Structure formats: structure tokens, C-alpha cells
Amino acid sequence: MTHPPLFHFAESYNDADQYYLSGFLCPDPFAVLEIGRRKVILGVSPMEEGRALLETAGKVVVPLHRMKGKTLNQLLADFIRGYGGERVRVLPTFPVGLAQELKGDGIGIEIDGKDLGERRRAKTKGQIRAIEEAQRFCEGAFDLVRSLLAGCPLRKGVLFHQGRPLTAQKVRSMVEVFFLENGFETSDTIVAPGQGGADPHWRGEGPIRAGVPVVIDLFPRSKKTRYHSDMSRTFVVGRATDTVREMHRAVMEAQDTAFERLREGVALAEVHKAVCDLFLKRGYPVPIEGKLPRRGFLHSTGHGLGLQVHEAPSVSVTPDVLGPGDVVTVEPGLYDRRIGGVRIEDVVACMPDGTVRNLTRYDRELEIL
């Protein structure tokens, strides 16, 4: 049975599905009609026609203003009817209002997000190379942070930089400038010092002190390829406490436990369970039947990575199985509101041939002495 064409209408700076389908980076919404995966037709505004022709080799570019309709939904209905027929598939994220308007103009709509999701999940060698390239620059940013922390003098236990207390905000801005200068963009960079780091997604603020953990989580996106990297490390300037060292050792053991089990065909829930079992053995609480503990291990073991920083598959309580082309993070962490957090995160790829590679090449040292 032949499926109807896949239709999407969105901008592609933030809509990863639209960029994946079109390969065209555009800040304003445009139309994409994919017919049998082999033919892709873009419906664009007259302002974008010339650029779309230059930047989308192998795709058909149609100026929407040449359609007969007067309103946007009429233009899109004419576009669909002229190139794809009377019925289309749309993604679950397709705007409900626009779908209703297209139906009113005689276009049949059916929702189908499974096919595109499976395609985006199974990365090609080229897409994995793009993630790995982003990972190298991410590691460069960690070198910058480590050198910065190592070079700061201390005054009453607080790090100083250029005569002022070094804050999480200052470190974050320096990291973001580094990424911009190297062709990457990032937002919500995490530099979380001290007790606030017990919230896994706290962005962080305030001065950085010696002897306390600083959770750093960077996930830049390449402006050229649109693929992300994702990496976390935890640093302590000077000597860490015995408690933090013990947490750090347990997190490394948990990560190694996950690495040992990540093979093509493994149930990712089993990987997550092995991590939880390790933490329980070390005396740290873990999620049980969806209930999160107040301290200990508070989240999944990892997530898929690609055009979005969080995508399929999930390394957690999930039916997902690791398959060729999957790229996932492995990021166990421990959290205690009296102390802060400790998290270590690498990126692992199951290559198209089924072999598994860690794309991260960075050490896991805790102390900066």
C-alpha cells in the first residue's frame, strides 16, 4: 500500500523535523512535501526562493505565492493538491488549527510520526561524524574551563578572576563565547557550583569556591550541521571531601557498568537497571516505580542525541533496544542537597555496522590541584 506524502509546515531553526526533511535552514515557516522519500518539494516565500534553490540541491523549490489561493491555508492546500494529491500524512506536532483549515479546503489529513522518528533515530556515518566533531569542540570548552579554574587565585576560599570573584555566570559567558567563535550555538549551559548542583538542571549562579563540586554540562549545536554534542563533568578546585570523592567514584563505576552493557540489541532498560543496582549496592537511593528519591540518583541513565539534545531512544525504564545508528548519552549522577551534585556524561554511538563506540575522549578527573 502506497502511503500519502508526508507534509510539514514550520520554520527549521528550532523544528528539527523540518530541518531533517528539507535540509534548509530558514527562520520563517515554509512547506515541505516528501513523496516516497525520494522526492522532496519545498514551498517557500518569494524572499527565500533564491536561497532555497542554492542551498537545497536535489530538491524541488516552489514559490508559494504562485499558487492560486489567497489565504495561507488555501495556498498550502493548492500546493499539496498540485504536487501530492488530496491526502497527506502529518507529524503529531503539526498545528491543529492549520490541520482543520486544510481539511476544510478538502485535504485529507492522517497523523503519522513513527516513520520519520525511526529515520531520525538511526544516524548515518556522516551524521555520527557531525556529532563527534561537535564533541571535540565541546571538549575544547572543558579544557578552557579547567584551565580557568586552575589559574584563579583564592581569597578566603573564593576563586578570583581579573580582580573579581569568579562566578558561574562568568564561566558560562566565557564558554558561550568560545562556542560562538568556533561556529556553535548554545543555551542554558549548566555551571552549577555547590549545593544548588543537587538540582540536575539548575543553570548555576554565584561565586565558585574551592573544595565544593561544580557540575558543568555543555550541549552545543553546530551552526553548520545542526547536530549537538552533550557532555558533563564535575570539578572540585583543590581537595574534595571524602563524601564527594565517594560519590564521584560511584558515578564512574555506574558509567562503566553502562558501557559494559551497551551492545547492539541490548534492552536499554537493562542498562538503566544495572546502573540503579550499582548505586543501590553503594548505598544511594534510586527511582523506584516512578517515585524519585530526595537524594541519590534522580534521573534516567541517558537519552538519544542528534538534531535535538534530547531525542529517542531513552536509556531508562523504556521498551527501547539499542540499534544501529543510535547515539545516546551515558550520564549517571548523584545528588545531595547538603553537598551538591556529581555527574559525568559521555556520548556513545552504535555504528551502522553494529559496533559501539564512545565518541568522548575526555578524562574524568575530579580535582583540579
Q: What domains are there in the chain, each with its CATH number?
A: 6-120 (3.40.350.10), 124-368 (3.90.230.10)
Q: Please, are residues 208 and 171 in contact by the beta-carbon 8 Å criterion?
A: yes
* pLDDT for res 289: 72
- The pLDDT value given to residue 365: 98
Q: Which is it for the CA torsion 286, 288, 294, 298, positive or negative?
A: positive
Q: Would you state the pLDDT for residue 187?
A: 86
Helix (H, G, I), strand (E, B) or coil at 60: strand
pTM of the model: 0.93
pLDDT below 70 — which residues of the chain?
1
Confirm if 308 and 228 have CB atoms less than 8 A apart. Answer: yes
| Contact indicator for 311, 346 with CB cutoff of 8 Å | no
Please name the residues in contact with 230: beta carbons below 8 A apart, sequence gap of 6 or more. Answer: 138, 217, 218, 219, 305, 309, 329, 331, 345, 347
CB 109 within 8 A of CB 92: no
Arithmetic mean of pLDDT over the chain: 95
In this predicted structure, what is the pLDDT of residue 1? Answer: 52
CA distance 3 to 205: 51
- ∠ Cα 83 40 48 (to 5°): 90
| Of 310, 315, 312, nearest in space to 272 by CA | 315
Cβ–Cβ < 8 Å for 318, 325:
no
